[in-house]
Structure 1
Amino acid sequence: MKASPDAQRRLLDLQAVDTALAQLAHKRKSLPELAEIDAASREISALEDERVRAQVAVDDLERDISRFEKDIEQVRARKAKDQARLDAGGALREIEGLQHELATLNRRQSELEDAELELMEQKETADAALAEVSGRLAAAVERREAAERRRDEALADIAKEQEFKSSSRAPLAADLPADLVGLYDKIRLESGLGAALFRSGRCGGCRIELYGADLARVKAAAADDVVRCEECRRIMVRTAESGL
């Protein structure tokens, strides 16, 4: 393939733009915020499960405490009723029965109140655990949201730079021979680099230094010959820096 030395030199400008675009694409995929968001999301998921378990524990204790309160209220109501009957007087046998039942109800009330107190202490601990995990969950959500904001800002900056680079690529490519650009694009899509400067006897693509017949081939090539590296097959652009 033939192309003027000037066209080949400008191919390096096109490659510089494409390299910048490739770097921006890589930067877009490898933003540190992406890993941070992913880690925070996993943490949030685990903390949400932990929060649900803590909430269930609190709800269960509240339900049990409520049941004990109802039982205690029933005992108190029964005691009040028996006490009223006792105060009203009556047969000795009936009074003795009421006194015995009141004693039994007092013991039952004491047992229920002790059990309720134990549950209330457990609920205090459970409330603290729920508050602690809820705090960690809120902090993790805040960290993720902050990372998402930083990600969005970084992506917006990258998009602007990509747009600028892309807009400069079109006129560069349009000003070069179509067959040269076609060959360049084919090589670039295969290896990521379509053209590189040949400098001091070394291919700028694979960094291999040419000797003997390979170097002689490059030296003997006409100025408008499109020379490719025998090793990496990239276009080797020759300029005054090539040392030929």
Structure 2
Amino acid sequence: MASDLDKASDKAHGPLRSFGRIKARPIKPRQAALVDTLLPRIAVPDPANGPIDLAALMPGASEAWLEIGFGGGEHMAAQAARRPDVLVIGCEPFLNGVASALRHVEEQQLENVRIHADDARAVVDALPDASLDRVLILFPDPWQKARHNKRRLVQDETIAAFARVLKPGGRLRFVTDWADYADWALERLDRSEAFGRLDADQDWHVAPADHVVTRYEEKKLGDTAPIFLEYERR
């Protein structure tokens, strides 16, 4: 039976929540201060208020990337530091992760990061057609039990939504350390006419050249070495 939290989240975010816990341990005082001061300055406008204007978020940005579920923010911050010309939007509902990411943004003085501390699907729905150059999904909640598979982020509906917001030639990267989720994503992405897999003959355990290893990845919590799937918007 669904918990009250699940029911409340379903009302707020659609039929099913695709992520687990919202907060674990207490947030450190420094990071809590950043939630109060830095987050309001770099937060993505509330998607409930209407379409998101990417040009207003970072005038003159050469590209716009979306990272869904950035965890502690190490990968997002590293990518943003490498490409200060790119607007990097990160979505993460886990408050401890948001607080950690804010610390990275402050320490590296990143001016090209914008954060949505909630469900990424609301942001995707509010983005204009063909507005993103990249979508990055790294180690999403695997929802391993068969009865929970319907909660996985990667579904036919979300793949269609990613296709809508990606520019032709835009890239979608999916990374997981659970073999069953890799097969699940591969099946759904391959049957989408909007996407074509890149380097299909390459060992899927080989990380792309620009991949950044995170603390989560180093913990090796899944049942396989990380699997990398890279697709292009046709």
TM superposition score category, shorter chain reference? under 0.3
Q: TM-score, normalising length from structure 2?
A: 0.17
Structure with greater contact order relative to length (CA < 8 Å, sep ≥ 6):
1
> Would you tell me which structure has more strand in proportion to its own residues?
2
Q: TM-score, normalising length from structure 1?
A: 0.16
For the pair shown, which has the larger CA radius of gyration, 1 or 2?
1
